[in-house]
Amino acid sequence: MAMENATSGLYPQQGQHKFQQMLEELPPWIWRGRRNILPGNWNPNRWTLGFGEYDDLPLIEIDDRNYITGNTRVDEPSADCLAFESACRDGPLSTLEAVTSSRPRTPAFLHQGLLIAIRVGNVDAAQYLLEKGAPIVRCTARNILWTPPEKQIPIGEVLLVHGWNPNTPDIVDCYLLPEVITNLPFLRWLLTHAGADPNIGKIGPEKYDFEGRETNGSCESLEKAACDGHLEAMHLLLDAGANINNGFPLHAAAGSDIYYENGHRRGRPSEPSPSPEVRKEFEERQIAIMSLLIERGVDINQEQRVVMGNMVPAYPVLEAIWAQSIQRAQWLIEQGANLEVTGGYGPAMEIAELTRNPEMTKVVEEGIRARRWVKKDAEKAIGE
């Protein structure tokens, strides 16, 4: 819902005096790094909290500062506020109606209740608050990540009806889709019903297509799915139109680690190593994903350019060797991966020696002698 619709007709235009008073009453630590809204630099047409996750909420009353972050309060909550939050969490809806009807409530107040309703999966409360004027701002929908799984889709449907767009970023090009790769039902719903674009996400300066041209789309979701070994998620994203040329999903699959989940490391290196059965299953998933990507047109010898001045293995086979995955390295070599290429950590043989794994060194040595990539390149040239 648009911000103007949430506030129009409910409150008179506030003046400079009240805004100045509100600024002066805020604690000193609030102003750290917030020079754009220091007293004297205020903008009467942009009434926002300005220093929290929900800084695009309209600032109407002094008490609205209690909802700066959605979690932390400046003041102690009143009994009225506690009853409201309890009703948003557990019901009943009659209590919610009584609190919101007792006097005009600001968008920030209603939004706080909406966050609670979303997180616990209270669909009726979320629906009611949105109808009463609770705004959907930049980071509102992100709270669905904490919603009970069986309630995520109903909550998402309520947000969609009231104007939420899953292709809108929340903070610094962060989108919801790449965060739900491991949640297949919700991922499927976002792609097939909510209109989520599989090519949205963070775009770094290292993103190029095969021809070395910068891309306009992101490969964040596809790369996370490839890194985590989620084959079904890969199919969902590719079938929805995910562009493999926007990034390096084959590199992500080849260089993944079993400790990663949703693109982030889980556990600690000091924890016990996974069992051979778990490791075998993980390797099989990664190989299946690499096979799918090559079938969809990814070049097995695609080069990844240096990322922000940092070294990278640069080629899928070097990623697999660096990750000490003998199975993935051997599979890529058999598919025609070039072992004469050199990445940020050196050529294949040097990286294999760095792993101090005799079996890895043997696999690379045999691959160099076989030179399968020469045959594959010749077959490709004949086919063209």
Domain formed by 318-384, architecture: Alpha Horseshoe (1.25)
pLDDT of residue 52: 63
pLDDT band at 164 (very low <50, low <70, confident <90, very high): very high
CA distances from 257 to 94, 183, 328, 353 (A): 51, 20, 12, 19
Regarding predicted confidence, which is higher, 328 or 42? 328
pLDDT of residue 369: 93
Phi, psi of 233 (to 5 degrees): -65, -40
pLDDT band at 150 (very low <50, low <70, confident <90, very high): very high
Q: Which DSSP string corresponds to 55-68?
A: TTSB--SGGGGGGS
pLDDT of residue 24: 59
Tens of pLDDT along 79-115?
888 889 999 999 899 999 999 998 889 998 999 999 9
| Percent of residues, the chain, with pLDDT higher than 70 | 74
What CATH code is assigned to 169-298?
1.25.40
Fold match flag (169-298 vs 318-384): yes
- End-to-end Cα spacing for the chain: 53
pLDDT of residue 251: 95
Would you list the domain boundaries of the chain? 3-164, 169-298, 318-384
Instruction: Give dist(CA 2, CA 312) in Å, integer.
Output: 44
pLDDT of residue 226: 95
Location of structure tokens 């919610």: 96
**Of 50-54, 255-259, 324-328, where does mean pLDDT reach its minimum?**
50-54
CA 161-132-8 angle, 5° bins: 100
Q: Average pLDDT of the chain?
A: 80
Tens of pLDDT along 286-313?
999 999 999 999 999 999 876 555 678 8
Tens of pLDDT along 4-52?
333 333 344 444 455 456 555 655 544 444 433 433 443 433 334 444 6
pLDDT band at 345 (very low <50, low <70, confident <90, very high): confident
261 has a pLDDT exceeding 90? no
Regarding predicted confidence, which is higher, 149 or 378? 149
pLDDT of residue 11: 41
Rounded to a whole number of angstroms, the CA Rg of the chain reads 26
Directed axis angle between helix 123-132 and helix 93-102, to 10°? 20
Tens of pLDDT along 173-214?
689 999 999 899 999 999 999 999 999 887 655 454 444 444
Tens of pLDDT along 61-84?
877 777 766 664 556 777 888 889
332 has a pLDDT exceeding 90? yes
pLDDT of residue 54: 80
Mean pLDDT across 353-375: 92
| Percent of residues, the chain, with pLDDT higher than 90 | 51
pLDDT of residue 271: 54
pLDDT of residue 276: 85
Regarding predicted confidence, which is higher, 169 or 7? 169
Cis? peptide before 358, omega within 30° of 0: no
pLDDT band at 257 (very low <50, low <70, confident <90, very high): confident
